Structure 1
Amino acid sequence: MEGRVATPEEIPAAGPFSGAPTWLLGLVPLVLIIASIGTFAVLGGPGLGERTGPPVEEVAIERTVLEPGVIELTVRNDGPDAVTIAQAVVNDAFVQFSGADEPIERLRTATVRISQPWIEGEAYEVALVTSTGGTIVHEIPVAVETPEPDLSFFGLMALLGVYVGVIPVALGMLWLPWVRRIPATWLRGVMAVTVGLLAFLAFDATLEGFELAGEGSQAFGGSALVLLGAVVAYLLLSGTTAWMTRRKAAAKAAGASAGTLALMVAVGIGLHNLGEGVAIGASYATGALALGAFLVVGFAIHNTTEGLAIVAPLAHQRVRVGRLALLGLVAGAPAVLGAWIGAAAFNASAAAFLFGFGAGAIAQVIVQLTPSLRDDDGRVLNPIAVGGILAGLAVMFLTGLLVAA
């Protein structure tokens, strides 16, 4: 019939390949592509010619360690050409350095140890001069000796993670008895406040990620890492939620049971707290002790409202104490892991990805919570919901003022 689209069964198979297995038909083009690329590489890229112009030098300072009389910098080559460090300058004075004896190839790192008697509390500007005359400038606003990453130091990081994540979330979960007694209209308002709290956390994580991405190596994607992390987290949590909902015959029309929603909220908050722990651990590891202490106090107060976000979906469900404790650990314990990561192996690019991952997870949780805001007329953005969302944003903004920018 004219205009009808043929079904796959009606499409005739290609003559020469009609008897070939399906897997072979998919494999042959892939092998040919790999073979052509390999041949082009072996022949040295015929037709491209020699590149003209000066080499492209892009170097990122990934880590700074201050020891008595020594400033140690970990540098990564972001550019396509090898970079050779020829000289080091501290506060406009040439100084002796060791390390980076060989050219630094693309995406490789090297450690430069600069002999410089620095004074605690003073500011320093360090410049690395390449063999072509290029200059990489790095600022040290306040010189403080970097703590030694020993067992006691990691114990301190664990304790700070408990202060920042576990205890505040547990205190916030004490709102559960109150949430269970309020009328249904008020409960919708509480759910709206939860959405506002989470929305602020998502914005905050995204901005933190972009800031870190600007400080780290751009060769790994820069700001795109934040967006990539967000997309990956959103898709992973969406798939996980669908799987959990399918396994629960009591799933609600909203798309997930109350227990599943509470778990998803805890996971989203936990991923955000992972990023906060990274920030705290990195501050202490780089010697910014005052900033680290300020972050601990600010985040602790900031995170007390997160417990409310976890228990709000459980208002009409009986939950064992053990289940509540598990939800609190899912949301708060990642701050401990984050503090360890930040203290031991802080990398701005990896931290940017983690913040983006947290933002994407929170965005997916907001999508799951949105149906619970509907009023009797089916409207999501009803007056109570809008007021609750704005209240949640305001609470997080005001408590966020306690956290150092």
Structure 2
Amino acid sequence: MSIEEKNLAAPAAPAGRRSHQAAPRWLLGLGPLVLVTVLLGLFALFNGPGLAKLSEGVPPKEDVAVEDIRLSPGQIEITVRNEGPDPVSIAQVNISDYYAPFTQTRPTMAPLESTTVTASYHWVDGDPYEIALVTSVGGKITAAIDAAALSPEKDASFFALMALLGIYVGIIPVAMGMLWMPFVRRSSTAWVRALLGLTVGLLAFLAFDATLEAFELVSGHGSFGGPLVVILGALISYLILEGIDAWMRRHQSPASHGQAPLPPARLALLIATGIGMHNLGEGLAIGSAYAIGSLALGATLIVGFAIHNTTEGLAIVTPLAKETPGLGRLALLGLIAGAPAILGTLIGATVYQPTLAAFLLGLGAGAVGQVAIKLLPLLKDHAGRILSPLTVAGIITGIAIMFATGLLVQA
């Protein structure tokens, strides 16, 4: 008897019995979650049976981040947050080898809690200071003031100044860079490929620069994943932009599917979006640095930021070399790229958290990296080569420009 005949000869289970035995699919998926929840609840209720002796004699792990430093006449206020798993208490405040009397809003910080330490200290305007908060178990939380200055009051005028600062370093430089649009439109095909290579170099530099800056922010802090949050932010932004691109391709003609180059208008939008996410992280760093007085935002530094970020506008308009976009579209692209710097300065001046700043910088790095990859098909010459002498020269020039102008904003 064949297998088919055996299957036909086998008696079928009654329909009523089968419906009673088959559990709903949602119940099969929910069951393990309920069991895990019950198990974790019992584990927490009985305080980890049998594991109490593991922590005996082991010093607590302290991971504390400095979020804000404010200076007022005769006082220095330091806001810190416990990012570790164990409670932390501040026992002493040392300012440039002087143990200062202090008060604090919370004597013991539970995980994720913060406290503001107010130390009585007659600081001198313009002098640098080294601060060390000594915990009850002898650990040190260090911070530095490069040049002491009276902290600004966070009123309406302060936030207006932060918004103006975002305009100076975000919107205006991008708009200035977009003025190269007539030059790009009159360029030959070979020159456009060189300019696209220049754009790839600019974006690649921004991606690496943001990543290194983010890693520096979380160096020495393993809480919230430490450097992992940077990689996570980069992956999230990269995958989101890839998903948006795939969704837009699906709603176009079949000829546009696959690895075909993106339409110029959409590519310009992706570049503006990626640069905008990068400028959000940059604005956050600027606003927080100004709020704690560690960055002297003078006219020279503003000029440095303007020169450094002007090239971002060129990167946006280069894919539109053969297009005739209206002023409204160009203005919208400029706002998408530059306006996030305003939001970043406002957030940074209001509340600063190193891990959050690193995550946002990671988002920007992933976004500009994704856009740089999308630009590569447009670099192909008549022989199908992406890395021709012309495009390689453009990439290297873009990296060199960003490196040189970046030296103007070192602070």
TM-score, normalising length from structure 1? 0.91
SS of corresponding position for 1:318: coil
Partner residue in 1 for 2:8: none
Match of 2:45 in 1: 42
Distance in 2 separating the partners of 1:341 and 1:293: 22
CA drift of 1:298 comes to 1.5
Match of 1:275 in 2: 281
SS where residue 142 of structure 2 aligns?
strand
**Residue of structure 2 in register with 1:4 after alignment:** none
**Aligned position for 1:219:** 223
Q: Paired residue for 2:271, among 252, 265, 271?
A: 265
Question: CA 1:283 to 1:136, structure 2 compared with 1: closer, same or farther past 3 Å?
Answer: closer
The aligned residue for residue 26 of structure 1 is 29
Q: How does 1:373-384 map to 2 (within 5 A)?
A: 373-384=379-390
Question: Which digits, 9 at most, give the CA deviation of each residue in 1:22-55, with x for residues without a partner?
Answer: 2121111221122112122212211213221133
Structure 2 unpaired stretches of 5+: 1-12
Question: Mean alpha-carbon deviation: is it higher for 286-295 or for 271-280?
Answer: 286-295
Deviation of 1:366 after TM superposition, in Å, equals 1.0
Q: Does the alignment pair 1:307 with 2:307?
A: no
1:184 and 2:200 matched: no
Match of residue 162 from structure 2: 157
Which residue of structure 2 lines up, in the alignment, with residue 207 of structure 1? 212
Distance 1:232 1:386 in 2: 29
Residue 126 of structure 1 deviates from its aligned partner by 2.4
Q: CA deviation at 1:104?
A: 1.1
Residue 236 of structure 1: which of 232, 235, 240 is its match?
240
The aligned amino acid for 2:225 is G
Paired with 1:47 and 1:292, the residues of 2 have a C-alpha distance of 60
> What's 1:108 paired with?
113
In 2, the alpha carbon distance for the partners of 1:386 and 1:372 equals 13
In structure 2, distance between residues paired with 1:92 and 1:303: 41
Give the match's secondary structure for 1:402.
Answer: helix
Relative distance call for 1:289 and 1:247 in structure 2 (3 A) is same
Q: Could you tell me which amino acid in structure 1 is paired with residue 390 of structure 2?
A: I
The answer to whether the 8 Å contact 1:265/1:310 transfers is yes
Q: Counterparts of 1:147 and 1:77 in 2: how far apart (Å)?
A: 26
1:56–1:277 Cα change, 3 Å: closer
Quick one: distance in 2 between partners of 1:336 and 1:181? 33
For the residue of structure 2 that corresponds to 1:300, the secondary structure is: helix
Task: Output aligned runs, 1:39-118, within 5 Å.
Answer: 39-50=42-53, 51-53=55-57, 54-118=59-123
Would you say 1:356 and 2:359 are equivalent positions? no
**8 Å CA contact retained: 1:254, 1:368:** no
Q: Matched residues in 1 for 2:370 and 2:409: separation?
A: 25
SS of the residue corresponding to residue 381 of structure 2 reads coil
Asked whether the 8 Å contact 1:161–1:333 carries over to 2, the reply is: yes
State percent identity of aligned pairs.
56
Residues 202 and 398, structure 2, Cα contact 8 Å, conserved in 1: yes
How far apart are 1:382 and its partner, in Å? 1.7
Which stretch of the first structure deviates more once superposed, 188-197 or 378-387? 378-387
CA distance in 2, matches of 1:204, 1:57: 29
Aligned partners of 2:146 and 2:294 also within 8 Å: no
Compared CA separation, residues 213 and 132, structure 1 to 2 (3 A): closer
**TM-score for both structures, normalised by structure 2:** 0.89
Give CA-to-partner distance per residue, 1:213-244, whole Å, 9 cap, x none: 227x5312222111111011101111112222
Please give the alpha-carbon distance, in whole angstroms, between the structure 2 residues aligned to 1:123 and 1:17. Answer: 77
- CA drift of 1:197 comes to 0.8
Change (3 A) 1:257 1:150: same
The AA in structure 2 aligned to 1:207 is: L
Distance in 2 between the 1:183 and 1:350 partners?
44
Q: Which amino acid aligns with 1:117?
A: H
2: CA distance between counterparts of 1:335 and 1:136? 30
* CA deviation profile, 1:339-371 (whole Å, cap 9, x unmatched): 111111122111111111000000110111111
